Amino acid sequence: MSLDIFRDERGFLSRAREIAEKIRFLIDEGSKFLVICHVDADGLSSGAIVSAMLLRDNARFVTRAVGEFEDALKYLVDLPAAYIPILVDMGSGYLNELSKLSPSRPIIILDHHEPMGSAPANVIQLNPHFHGINGSEEVSGAGVAYLVAKALNEENILLSPVAVTGALGDLQDRFDGRSLHGFNERIVEDAVKAGLLRVEEDLLFYGRSSKPIHVAMASTMNPFIVGISGNEANAYSLLTEIGIRVKDDDRWRVLSELSEDEKKQLYNGILKYLASLGLPPSMARELVGKVYELTMEEPWTYLRDAREFASLLNACGKTGNEWLGISIAMGGRGALLEEAQRVLEDYRRRLAEAIEYAMRDECRQELKNLLVIDGGGVIDDRLISSVASMLSSMGLQGDKHILVALAQSEDSIKVSARASRKLVEMGLNLGKLLAEVAELVGGRGGGHDVAAGASIPKTRKALFLLELDRAVEEKLSGTR
Ligand SMILES: [Mn+2]
């Protein structure tokens, strides 16, 4: 079907209400639910929103987070008859696979990935793409889940900060001034109106009003500043080098206390530092923008800044602690939060090490349209998509190249790729390309237009890269 349709926000919202009514009916009927979500930050946010929604309405449910659709399929095949599956932040890309399941039970899909294939009659789907709303830019899986939750019960407006967190986790703030836009703005408005969120313009270091400046700098993962992110000692020496006073008497100063002049001084100092590493100054633009502050969270936690909240969920998902991330996003605190914060600290350190390795010349290879970063067996394959995101947020590949990061797992090679918005505007869809080329070499792939992944057989690396380079060339040759 063609997705070139008129933007219809009302249609999108009324579809959300229809699905909420259907869920209400199923709950009243005594159905149990199996919630399946993705393991990334948006996925865990989505899973948490649906779980919290079901919990509030006393429905019985279990929640599972999966890394790949195949794992979801395994749960679906063996699912006892009493359960209704709700797939969140996943499903729309695999409609043909779903048509192989028993058609007698409804399957609910709340997703923002581009729909692929045709949905069997038992699939009940909410997806912005069907309403002319671009799901990769302006609403996340968590946002889609939130709409249904709010339609089911107005009190679920309490979950709006989690929907904002999911959108930031999916990097939907990559537009002017690092702000969420389009449909996401409606969700931000909900959260602000409910007194749960404050939006301000500032330097984007995590914990601008709560952490010592060097700690805030080292905590920041998006953008990732090589040498500074994950390294407090380096952040501290850069600060003193730039000449920013870090303490008032015995008390650490925080970023929000700096004068405008000091902020400029800090910004320029970071620009200089980036230039000394040969990184493009464009990256510094990523450092300023809208800060999304969750006003009801304790200031010293990693949940106060929505971007850091997303980092925490991401860390939980990437380390096999999905349950912990979902519990936190559902509102769990106390010992759970302490544990999750430890997970984030550890993950931050390991990622910093992986990035520093990936920046070495010997990992880098340039093809006509690709900048390949090969982590070989050194970079943990579970970290590779984060490494790709970080390198791409540093602007390493420039506007014209696609960043392709590789890591070897036991029996395959994991691929994670990122394209610039400019290439997407020229007609490139990385998700589709990776799906095609991976299949060509006996692997599997897919994802969004700007960010996608694949898994390919170990022996097919060179062929895969050549074919991908060629496919990109073909796609772009008419347009430049
Ligand atoms: Mn998502």
Per-residue pLDDT reduced to its tens digit, 407-424 = 999 889 999 999 988 899
Say how far apart CA 229 and CA 222 lie, in whole Å: 9
Give the Å distance between the CA of 368 and the centre of ligand 1.
30
Give the Å distance between the CA of 337 and the centre of ligand 1.
23
Give the Å distance between the CA of 91 and the centre of ligand 1.
11
Sequence-ordered list of residues with C-beta below 8 angstroms from that of 446, at least 6 positions apart, any chain: 93, 116, 431, 434, 435, 452, 453, 454
For the chain, give the percent of residues with pLDDT over 90.
82
Q: Any idea where the domains of the chain sit in the sequence?
A: 9-193, 201-355, 359-476
Give the Å distance between the CA of 140 and the centre of ligand 1.
5
Which secondary-structure segment (H or E) carries 102?
none
Q: Model's pTM, two decimal places?
A: 0.86
- Angle made by CA atoms 234, 238, 241, in degrees to the nearest 5: 140
Is residue 33 a contact partner of residue 60, using CB atoms and an 8 Å limit?
A: yes
Q: What pLDDT is recorded for position 184?
A: 97
The residue ranking higher by pLDDT, 161 or 422, is 161
pLDDT averaged over every residue in the chain: 93
Q: For the sheet with 107-110, list strands across it.
A: 60-66, 32-38, 83-88, 107-110, 123-126
Same fold for the domain at 9-193 and the one at 359-476? Answer: no
Per-residue pLDDT reduced to its tens digit, 331-369 = 999 999 999 999 999 999 999 999 989 989 999 999 999
Sequence-ordered list of residues with C-beta below 8 angstroms from that of 245, at least 6 positions apart, any chain: 253
Give the Å distance between the CA of 170 and the centre of ligand 1.
6
Is residue 294 a contact partner of residue 306, using CB atoms and an 8 Å limit?
A: yes
Give the Å distance between the CA of 477 and the centre of ligand 1.
30
Give the Å distance between the CA of 169 and the centre of ligand 1.
8
Q: What pLDDT is recorded for position 209?
A: 85
Q: What pLDDT is recorded for position 394?
A: 80
The arithmetic mean of pLDDT across residues 443-469, rounded, is 94
- Which residues have CB atoms below 5 A from the ion given as ligand 1? 42, 89, 140-141, 170
- Quick one: pLDDT band at residue 5, thresholds 50, 70, 90? confident
At residue 1, does pLDDT exceed 80?
A: no
Give the Å distance between the CA of 238 and the centre of ligand 1.
35
CATH class of the 359-476 domain in this structure: alpha beta
Give the Å distance between the CA of 265 and the centre of ligand 1.
36
For the chain, give the percent of residues with pLDDT over 70.
99
CATH class of the 9-193 domain in this structure: alpha beta
Give the Å distance between the CA of 450 and the centre of ligand 1.
13
Per-residue pLDDT reduced to its tens digit, 44-78 = 999 999 999 999 999 999 999 999 899 999 999 99
The arithmetic mean of pLDDT across residues 419-448, rounded, is 93
In which region does residue 245 sit, left (phi positive, over 0), alpha (psi from -120 to 50) or beta (all else)? Answer: beta
Per-residue pLDDT reduced to its tens digit, 365-408 = 999 999 999 999 999 998 898 899 888 878 888 888 999 999 99
